[in-house]
Amino acid sequence: MTHSFHPLLGREFDLVGYAHTWGEHRVFFREPGDVRVQSLPAGWTDIEGPDPFLVVSGGRTCFRVEDLAALVRLIDELDGRCQGDSAARVNKIMPVRHGRT
């Protein structure tokens, strides 16, 4: 596991399989002594080798362009869900002013 924010960072597992499922490349693995098969995005592991973008950037960036583009698509999708009646039901929260009249 190489994903910097994953709680299993640094752990190694028995690889069961590698496939393109759920719209992405995923690894299927089993923890030692466990019969359950779990899966993770392949990009969170070292199975595909180092990410070329991260190698070239040399730690000078926190985000990859493709990840930011995916975030924009997700925000657009979520924003579309908030249009119309649901947005009208949201109340604006104003900060409380202490000690002022």
Nearest residue to 38 (alpha-carbon basis) of 22, 74, 14: 14
As beta bridge partners, residue 27 has 18, 40
- Residue 20 — pLDDT band, cuts 50, 70, 90? very high
Would you say residue 83 has pLDDT above 60?
yes
Q: Does 79 fall in a domain?
A: yes
Mean pLDDT of 7-35: 86
Which pLDDT score, from 0 to 100, does residue 37 have?
92
4 and 41 both lie in a single domain: yes
13 and 43 both lie in a single domain: yes
2 and 45 both lie in a single domain: yes
66 and 45 both lie in a single domain: no
Query: What predicted TM-score, i.e. pTM, was given to this entire model?
Result: 0.52
Q: Does 94 fall in a domain?
A: no
Residue 34 structural domain: 1-49
Please write down the HEC assignment for all residues of 7-67. CCCCCCCEEEEEEEECCEEEEEEECCCCCCCEEEEHHHCCCCCCCHHHHHHCCCCCCCHHH
Which pLDDT score, from 0 to 100, does residue 90 have?
59
- Residue 34 — pLDDT band, cuts 50, 70, 90? confident
38 and 11 both lie in a single domain: yes
Do strands 24-30 and 14-21 pair parallel, antiparallel, or not at all (unpaired)?
antiparallel
45 and 77 both lie in a single domain: no
Which pLDDT score, from 0 to 100, does residue 85 have?
57
